[in-house]
């Protein structure tokens, strides 16, 4: 294939060359174990690099350096947030949690696991744009509630929740609040000194950083227990060999994101939506039109299967996603689109385009032109389109 | 510092340039999500790369491709082995586990966590070389025993257990057997088609592979439950974004290890031991002299503190380790050396040298020469040496 146009859910996982460059010294030169600080200077250098990376990431979100731990990625971060709080507070305070119905799998399935272990979970409905209702949330919180987990931006439809209002409500009620910010970190502002959130899941792989590294912001004095046993790394909250290149790469990835870039992503996102609505009939935008992550466009095309669209686009070298983030492999309908009032047809006809740093407006135009042809051809042959 | 001599516990974590080269296409070219196989060829390429890496690693240990899953590292692998089996069999079969007293922290502390959750754990003693006793193990196994976890090679003293005999015993008794092979994988043969072991923890970071990636061999039909909730990756045994560069790098790291290299490491190891015993009085080898990992030399020096030795060696650009693997930061005595009959003095006077691909015989000679001077000088000034 001569040229590829990546607008799939991996667009943002293309590593930035500058990130790799920042990681290089920690592959080949300063590769000591950061926690072996006694005894030799290379260990101290390694630890300093790790702590500098931690400090940059913490500062970026308005946190203190001691409030940010590295994990293997956002999946582990969310597992730790939910299960770690459950472990720390389950016996002490109560066994009730609240999550939204459109959370990504790490939160959703951690909640289900906790249910099997004797916890009670309320799954909060969302409206047609994907927003949770604050009054409903308020009613669900009881004295037994230990944690509310509602994502910042949705993984599929991009809708950005009003986490300031949610965090404030939880704070008033004395309940811990976790948000999965995997798809918003560095793209949508989140300052923990302004928003009383207690736990924030973040990842490097969504901002052209390395895979295999993520983080969890944990507000000072939050009750949480370790779930990965081993050494005493990460303030004794996560065992495992320090991934110094990963940590340094993550910090570099954050540095490379600029407000201008986020604005540019948003322009490309809006261009996709505008052109699709102009050129293709019978389409529906999934998620809120403006309160959405700058990199996400998710559109349902009536009378076609998303799988067929992606297969045909692939012949033109274009990669887009259908179904849910990490689970296109299953032909199950997206739980997110079903929950915002969609039916199976709308879920199966949905195409998600994720825009990254390496996409251009020209690509966007080519992709929509091709999409227009592909959808028209598929509708022509599809029995779904016939009246 | 002009030149550094790394013989610390990170020696093997220096990435091999060829590993990075193998990873490059998956940073910048084929970075799609491997599980999104439907719809576009880059996703299929990504998945193929992941599966090829899995196949190579599985084949290396005599396993089937479906019996090897990727994790974030050996810590997670061992957590999954112990907690996953406990979760799957605790209610069904029993709540008893057996581990050795000199296991590395992931196994040891996972066992302690399980104890807090209602499981019973027997901690098996070891002899002065670090070996478990088979008869004692046999006596400890009951109808309630669900898992025995005994490491292949020790993280500090290098002693290699007879895991074939242990696995055979467990097999006869119908008990699952897990071994932590973090420090032996590719260095000491372990073929799961010959040894009836059910679960094997491995990691890339001990063989010049990338950090943040490890694996767990899981024999077909082993009862084990997922502990990291999220997507349905890794045969639905571990949620989390596929780390394709990591997987590919891990497979490349395995390819680069040769029998000749292992022999050369062993020669360097024996050279260290030989020279130290020749030049420095009042020393004791920790671990078995021959049944030990090729890369490990651990020696206790009477009348000196390991911390002082490492600090002084550092002035010559030499990095070695003291104390336990990931925990030199604490001044606690090594639990391993205490368990093989050492006292606090022997534990605190221990120096561990780990030899990697990039060390040379000339370095070894320089290191021992320097060590000889440093130990002599420290003993001269130390009150410990004065009668």
* Radius of gyration for chain A, computed over Cα atoms and rounded to the nearest angstrom: 22
* Residue B125 C-alpha, separation from nearest chain A C-alpha, in angstroms: 20
Domain boundary residue, one of B236, B256, B276: B256
End-to-end Cα separation, chain A, in angstroms: 38
In this structure, are A170 and A223 located in the same domain?
A: yes
User: How much is the pLDDT for A327?
Assistant: 46
Q: Is A243 on the interface with B (CB under 8 A)?
A: yes
Mutate to test the interface with A, among B12, B111, B212 (most CBs of A within 10 A): B212
- pLDDT at residue A255 greater than cutoff 50: yes
Rounded distance, CA A113 to CA B15, Å? 37
In this structure, are A194 and A312 located in the same domain?
A: no
Number of domains in chain B: 2
Which residue(s) pair with B199 in the sheet? Answer: B178, B218
Taking a C-beta distance cutoff of 8 angstroms, is the pair A70, A243 a contact?
yes
Any idea what the CATH number is for the domain that residue A355 is in? 3.90.1150.10
pLDDT in tens, chain B (387 residues): 456 788 887 788 899 999 999 999 999 988 877 655 455 677 788 889 999 999 999 999 999 999 999 999 999 999 999 999 999 999 999 999 999 999 999 999 999 999 999 999 999 999 999 999 999 999 999 999 999 999 999 999 999 999 999 999 999 999 999 999 999 999 999 999 999 999 999 999 999 999 999 999 999 999 999 999 998 899 999 999 899 999 999 999 999 999 999 999 999 999 999 999 999 999 999 999 999 999 999 999 999 988 889 889 989 989 888 864 444 455 567 889 999 998 888 888 999 999 999 999 999 999 999 999 999 999 998 765 554
Residue B180, CB-side half-sphere exposure with 13 Å CA sphere: 31
Q: Is B15 on the interface with A (CB under 8 A)?
A: yes
In this structure, are A244 and A265 located in the same domain?
A: no
Q: Is A78 on the interface with B (CB under 8 A)?
A: yes
State mean pLDDT over A84-99.
98
Taking a C-beta distance cutoff of 8 angstroms, is the pair B225, B88 a contact?
yes
Q: Do strands A296-301 and A283-285 pair parallel, antiparallel, or not at all (unpaired)?
A: antiparallel
pLDDT tens figures, A129-173: 999 999 999 999 999 999 999 999 999 999 999 999 999 999 999
pLDDT tens figures, A232-248: 899 999 999 899 999 99
In this structure, are A346 and A242 located in the same domain?
A: no
The helix/strand/coil state of A337 is: helix
Domain around A88:
17-256
Q: In sequence order, what are the residues at sequence separation of 6 or more whose Cβ sits closer than 8 angstroms to the Cβ of residue B174?
A: none
In this structure, are B21 and B157 located in the same domain?
A: yes
Q: Compute the CA torsion angle B377, B378, B380, B383 (nearest 10 deg).
A: 170
- pLDDT at residue A325 greater than cutoff 60: no
Q: Which two tokens stand for residue A379?
A: 């509708």
φ/ψ (deg, to 5) at A378? -65, -40
Rounded distance, CA B308 to CA A138, Å? 59
Rounded distance, CA A104 to CA A84, Å? 18
Interface touch A75/B230, C-beta < 8 Å: yes
Domain boundary residue, one of B222, B256, B290: B256
Mutate to test the interface with B, among A21, A108, A241 (most CBs of B within 10 A): A241
Q: Which of A326, A338, A376, A384 is catalytic?
A: A326
User: How much is the pLDDT for B383?
Assistant: 63
In this structure, are A301 and A155 located in the same domain?
A: no
Entry field: residues in chain B: 387
Burial-class residue A102 by CB neighbours within 10 Å (0-12, 13-18, 19+). buried
Q: Do strands A350-354 and A296-301 pair parallel, antiparallel, or not at all (unpaired)?
A: antiparallel
In this structure, are A295 and A353 located in the same domain?
A: yes
Q: Do strands A96-100 and A145-149 pair parallel, antiparallel, or not at all (unpaired)?
A: parallel
Nearest to B36 among A78, A311, A328 (CB): A328
Q: Is A6 on the interface with B (CB under 8 A)?
A: yes
Taking a C-beta distance cutoff of 8 angstroms, is the pair B57, B226 a contact?
no
Rounded distance, CA A241 to CA B87, Å? 25
DSSP letter at B385 equals G
Any idea what the CATH number is for the domain that residue B162 is in? 3.40.640.10
- pLDDT at residue A41 greater than cutoff 90: no
Query: Chain B contacts of A1, Cβ < 8 Å?
Result: 41
Q: Which two tokens stand for residue B157?
A: 């003293």
Query: Considering only residues 89 to 108 of chain B, which have any Cβ-Cβ distance to chain A shorter than 8 Å?
Result: 104-106
* Residue B368 C-alpha, separation from nearest chain A C-alpha, in angstroms: 17
User: How much is the pLDDT for A30?
Assistant: 84
Nearest to A319 among B27, B43, B240 (CB): B43
ipTM value > 0.90: yes
- pLDDT at residue A324 greater than cutoff 50: no
What are the DSSP E strand ranges found in A111-192? Answer: 120-124, 145-149, 176-180
Nearest to B82 by CA among B93, B70, B71, B96: B96
Nearest to A353 by CA among A303, A315, A279, A300: A300
User: How much is the pLDDT for A384?
Assistant: 55
User: How much is the pLDDT for B332?
Assistant: 67
In this structure, are A130 and A143 located in the same domain?
A: yes
φ/ψ (deg, to 5) at A162? -85, 80
Nearest to B106 among A210, A230, A307 (CB): A230
Chain A residue at shortest CA distance from B358:
A28
In this structure, are A244 and A379 located in the same domain?
A: no
In this structure, are B233 and B277 located in the same domain?
A: no
Rounded distance, CA A232 to CA B330, Å? 9
Query: Chain B contacts of A244, Cβ < 8 Å?
Result: 211
Nearest to A244 by CA among A28, A13, A33: A33
Go through B245-254 and write b for each residue having 16 or more CB atoms within 10 A of its CB, e for each that does not. Answer: bbbbbbbbbb
* Residue B164 C-alpha, separation from nearest chain A C-alpha, in angstroms: 26
Rounded distance, CA B72 to CA B70, Å? 7
Q: Is A328 on the interface with B (CB under 8 A)?
A: yes
Q: How confident is the model at residue A254 (pLDDT cuts 50, 70, 90)?
A: very high
> How distant, in Å, are the alpha carbons of A117, A326, A329, B30 from that of B39?
38, 13, 9, 15
The helix (H) or strand (E) run that includes residue A354 is: strand A350-354
Rounded distance, CA B28 to CA B245, Å? 10
Taking a C-beta distance cutoff of 8 angstroms, is the pair B60, B254 a contact?
yes
Interface touch A14/B8, C-beta < 8 Å: no
Catalytic positions of B are: 326
Mutate to test the interface with A, among B9, B40, B328 (most CBs of A within 10 A): B40
In this structure, are B269 and B192 located in the same domain?
A: no
Rounded distance, CA B272 to CA B266, Å? 10
What are the DSSP E strand ranges found in chain B? Answer: 5-6, 68-71, 96-100, 120-124, 145-149, 176-180, 199-203, 214-218, 283-285, 296-301, 318-319, 350-354
Which residue(s) pair with B148 in the sheet? Answer: B98, B177
The helix (H) or strand (E) run that includes residue A252 is: helix A244-256
Query: Chain A contacts of B109, Cβ < 8 Å?
Result: 229-230, 239
φ/ψ (deg, to 5) at A214? -145, -170
In this structure, are B283 and B181 located in the same domain?
A: no
Q: In sequence order, what are the residues at sequence separation of 6 or more whose Cβ sits closer than 8 angstroms to the Cβ of residue B316?
A: B5, B370, B374
Domain boundary residue, one of B199, B224, B256: B256
Q: Is B121 on the interface with A (CB under 8 A)?
A: no
Measured at the alpha carbon of residue B11, what is the angle toward residues B6 and B14, in degrees to the nearest 5?
Answer: 110
User: How much is the pLDDT for B321?
Assistant: 86
């Amino acid at each position: 294939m001569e040229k590829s146009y990546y607008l799939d859910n991996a667009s943002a996982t293309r590593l930035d060359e500058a990130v790799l460059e920042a990681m290089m010294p920690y592959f080949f030169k300063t590769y000591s174990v950061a926690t072996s600080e006694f005894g030799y200077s290379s260990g101290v250098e390694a630890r300093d690099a790790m702590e500098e990376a931690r400090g940059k990431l913490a500062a970026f979100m308005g946190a203190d350096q001691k409030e940010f731990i590295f994990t293997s990625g956002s999946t582990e971060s969310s597992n730790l947030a939910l299960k770690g709080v459950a472990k720390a507070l389950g016996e002490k305070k109560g066994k009730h949690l609240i999550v939204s119905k459109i959370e990504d799998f790490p939160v959703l399935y951690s909640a289900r696991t906790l249910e099997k272990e004797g916890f009670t979970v309320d799954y909060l409905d969302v409206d047609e744009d994907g927003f949770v209702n604050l009054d409903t949330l308020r009613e669900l919180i009881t004295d037994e509630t230990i944690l509310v987990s509602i994502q910042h931006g949705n993984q599929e439809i991009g809708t950005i929740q009003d986490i300031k209002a949610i965090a404030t409500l939880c704070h008033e009620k004395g309940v811990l609040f976790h948000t999965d910010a995997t798809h918003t970190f560095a793209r949508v502002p989140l300052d923990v000194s302004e928003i009383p959130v207690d736990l924030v899941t973040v990842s490097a792989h969504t901002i052209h950083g390395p895979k295999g590294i993520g983080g969890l912001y944990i507000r000072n004095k939050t009750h949480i227990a370790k779930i990965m046993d081993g050494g005493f790394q990460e303030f004794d909250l996560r065992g495992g060999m320090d991934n110094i290149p990963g940590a340094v790469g993550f910090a570099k990835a954050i540095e490379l994101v600029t407000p201008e870039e986020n604005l540019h992503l948003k322009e490309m996102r809006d261009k996709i939506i505008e052109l699709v609505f102009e050129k293709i009939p019978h389409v529906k935008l999934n998620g809120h039109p403006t309160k959405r992550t700058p990199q996400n466009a998710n559109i349902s095309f009536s009378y076609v299967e998303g799988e067929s669209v992606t297969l045909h686009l692939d012949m033109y070298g274009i990669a887009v996603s259908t179904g849910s983030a990490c689970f296109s492999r299953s032909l199950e309908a997206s739980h997110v689109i079903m929950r915002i009032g969609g039916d199976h047809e709308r879920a199966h006809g949905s195409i998600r385009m994720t825009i990254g740093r390496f996409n251009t407006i020209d690509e966007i135009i080519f992709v929509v032109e091709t999409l227009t042809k592909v959808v028209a051809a598929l509708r022509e042959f599809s029995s779904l389109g016939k009246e």
